[in-house]
C-alpha cells in the first residue's frame, strides 16, 4: 500500500473502519474481534451470526486535492464506505479524520456545520427532492447556509450552467432524464463549493457516450477546482481514466490501494487481476512502473531514447528492434534507469495464466 506524502495532514484519514449492519453490532464485533485474531476471521464469524459486515477494517488516506477512486463489484461496500466517512451511517468501529478532525467525535452541531460548508455528496440514485424544481434542488444547501433568495438563485443558475443544464432550471426532477438528474445532483453538491466531494457512481446510470462526455467535463471541472474527491465506480476504465489512486474493495475489505499503473501491472490477487483483464495495459501504465534503477548499469548498445513518462505501448514500439537493455531518461534528460525490451513485452502480457 502506498503511503501519502509526509507533508501536511491528509484531507481524509480512515483507520480500522468497520461497518456492521444488524442488531447489537458494536458489542458483537468487539466480541468477535477479541476471540479471533484477524479481521477476515472476525467478519466471517459475524456473518455466521447473521450480521452484515459491509466494511471491514478499512484504512487509507486521501491527500488534499487528490482524486481517490473506490472500486469494487456491486455489494462490496463502496457506498457504505463513503456513508461512514460522511457519517450518514454511524461506523461500528474505527476512526475517520477529516483535515485532522475526528469526525466520529463531532457534535451534531459541528456535523451540520461541516456538511453545510465543507462536504458535498452526489448520490448513486440521485436523491433529488421530488417536490422541488431543479433550481430549488440546487439552491437547497445554500438555503441551509441562510443565503438570500436572490443569491441562491443566482448561484444555482451558475452551477447549473457549469454542468450544462441551463434552461431546465424550473423543471421538476420527474421531468428529467437519468443523465440530467445526475447533473442536477452534481450541481447541487457543488453549490456551496465544498472542499471535499463524495461521488457515488455518478455516471453509472448513463449510456457510454454520455458517460464519456461527462467524465471529460468532470475532469475539466476538477482541473479548475482541485477538490479532494472520493469517487466510487465499478467501471475499471472510468477508474483508470480519472484516478490519482484507486482502492479496490471486495466483500467489505480493501484488497489493494495503488496508482492506476500499479493496479494494472501489479495486481495483488486474481480478483484485482480480473478487473483489469480487459484493459489495454500498455495505454495505462508508464515506463516508470517497470524500469530497473538498482545495481550496476549493464551494457547498452542501443539507445531508442526512451523517456520515463512514455506509456508501455509507445516504449515497446520505439524499441522493436532492440534485444539488449536500453536506457530510460527522465524529463530533464538524465538517465533514470534501464529496461530490457523483453521485460517490457512481458509487462504487457503477464498474469494471463
Ligand X SMILES: Nc1ncnc2c1ncn2[C@@H]1O[C@H](COP(=O)(O)OP(=O)(O)OP(=O)(O)O)[C@@H](O)[C@H]1O
Interaction site with ligand X (CB under 6 A): 21, 52, 54, 72, 74-80, 124, 234
- The smaller minimum CB distance to ligand X, of residues 26 and 305, is found at 26
In Å, how far from its chain's centre is CA 3? 16
- Among another protein, Mg ion, ligand X, none, what binds residue 120 when CB lies within 5 to 8 Å by partner kind? another protein
The Cα 216–Cα 195 span in angstroms is 21
- Among Mg ion, another protein, ligand X, none, what binds residue 130 when CB lies within 5 to 8 Å by partner kind? another protein
Contact call for residues 288 and 267 (beta carbons, < 8 A): no
Nearest to 251 by CA among 56, 17, 22: 56
- The smaller minimum CB distance to ligand X, of residues 53 and 173, is found at 53
C-alpha cell at 227: 477538490
In Å, how far from its chain's centre is CA 317? 32
- Among Mg ion, ligand X, another protein, none, what binds residue 75 when CB lies within 5 to 8 Å by partner kind? ligand X
The Cα 29–Cα 54 span in angstroms is 12
Based on C-alpha coordinates, what's the Rg of the chain? Answer: 23
- Count of residues near another protein by CB under 8 A: 29
Min separation Cβ 39 and another protein, Å? 27
| DSSP structure class, residue 145 | T
Interface characters, 58-87, with Mg ion (x: CB under 5 A) = ---------------------x--------
Min separation Cβ 81 and Mg ion, Å? 9
Contact call for residues 235 and 205 (beta carbons, < 8 A): no
The Cα 322–Cα 303 span in angstroms is 9
| DSSP structure class, residue 232 | E
The correct pick among 32, 46, 98, 128 for binding another protein (CB under 8 A) is: 128
Query: Going by DSSP bridges, is the β-strand pair 196-200/228-233 parallel, antiparallel, or unpaired?
Result: parallel
- Among another protein, ligand X, Mg ion, none, what binds residue 141 when CB lies within 5 to 8 Å by partner kind? another protein
- The smaller minimum CB distance to another protein, of residues 126 and 275, is found at 126
- Among ligand X, Mg ion, another protein, none, what binds residue 346 when CB lies within 5 to 8 Å by partner kind? none
**Sequence-separated (6 or more) residues with CB below 8 Å from residue 138:** 156, 159, 160, 184, 187, 188, 191
212-213-218 Cα angle (round to 5)? 95
- Among Mg ion, ligand X, another protein, none, what binds residue 116 when CB lies within 5 to 8 Å by partner kind? another protein
Q: Which stretch binds another protein (CB under 8 A): 124-132, 161-169, 239-247, 329-337?
A: 124-132
The Cα 72–Cα 41 span in angstroms is 21
- Among another protein, ligand X, Mg ion, none, what binds residue 140 when CB lies within 5 to 8 Å by partner kind? another protein
Min separation Cβ 21 and ligand X, Å? 3
Residues forming contacts to another protein in the complex (CB under 8 A) are 83, 86, 88, 112-117, 119-121, 123-132, 140-141, 143-145, 188-189
In the complex, the residues that contact Mg ion under the rule CB under 5 A are 79, 124
Amino acid at each position: 500500500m502506498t503511503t501519502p506524502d509526509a507533508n501536511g495532514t491528509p484531507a481524509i484519514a480512515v483507520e480500522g473502519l468497520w461497518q456492521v449492519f444488524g442488531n447489537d453490532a458494536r458489542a458483537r464485533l468487539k466480541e468477535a474481534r477479541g476471540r479471533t485474531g484477524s479481521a477476515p476471521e472476525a467478519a466471517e464469524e459475524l456473518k455466521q451470526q447473521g450480521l452484515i459486515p459491509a466494511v471491514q477494517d478499512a484504512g487509507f488516506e486521501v491527500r488534499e486535492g487528490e482524486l481517490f477512486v473506490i472500486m469494487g463489484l456491486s455489494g462490496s461496500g463502496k457506498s457504505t464506505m463513503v456513508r461512514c466517512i460522511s457519517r450518514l451511517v454511524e461506523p461500528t468501529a474505527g476512526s475517520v479524520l477529516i483535515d485532522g478532525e475526528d469526525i466520529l467525535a463531532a457534535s451534531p452541531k459541528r456535523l451540520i456545520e461541516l456538511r453545510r460548508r465543507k462536504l458535498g455528496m452526489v448520490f448513486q440514485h440521485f436523491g433529488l427532492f421530488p417536490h422541488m424544481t431543479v433550481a430549488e434542488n440546487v439552491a437547497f444547501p445554500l438555503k441551509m447556509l441562510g443565503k438570500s433568495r436572490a443569491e441562491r438563485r443566482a448561484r444555482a443558475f451558475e452551477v447549473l450552467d457549469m454542468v450544462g443544464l441551463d434552461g431546465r432550471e424550473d423543471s421538476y426532477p420527474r421531468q428529467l432524464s437519468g443523465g440530467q438528474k445526475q447533473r442536477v445532483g452534481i450541481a447541487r453538491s457543488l453549490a456551496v463549493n465544498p472542499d471535499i466531494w463524495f461521488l457515488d457512481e455518478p455516471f453509472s446510470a448513463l449510456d457510454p457516450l454520455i458517460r464519456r462526455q461527462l467524465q471529460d467535463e468532470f475532469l475539466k471541472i476538477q482541473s479548475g477546482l482541485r477538490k479532494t474527491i472520493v469517487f466510487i465506480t465499478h467501471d475499471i476504465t472510468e477508474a483508470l481514466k480519472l484516478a490519482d489512486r484507486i482502492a479496490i474493495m471486495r466483500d467489505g475489505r480493501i484488497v489493494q490501494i495503488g496508482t492506476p499503473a500499479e493496479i494494472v501491472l501489479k495486481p495483488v490477487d486474481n480478483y484485482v487481476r480480473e478487473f483489469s483483464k480487459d484493459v489495454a495495459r500498455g495505454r495505462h501504465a508508464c515506463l516508470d512502473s517497470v524500469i530497473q534503477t538498482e545495481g550496476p548499469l549493464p551494457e547498452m548498445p542501443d539507445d531508442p531514447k526512451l523517456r520515463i513518462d512514455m506509456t508501455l505501448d509507445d516504449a515497446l514500439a520505439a524499441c522493436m528492434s532492440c534485444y539488449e537493455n536500453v536506457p530510460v531518461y527522465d524529463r530533464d534528460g538524465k538517465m533514470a534507469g534501464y529496461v530490457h525490451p523483453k521485460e517490457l513485452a512481458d509487462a504487457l502480457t503477464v498474469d494471463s495464466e
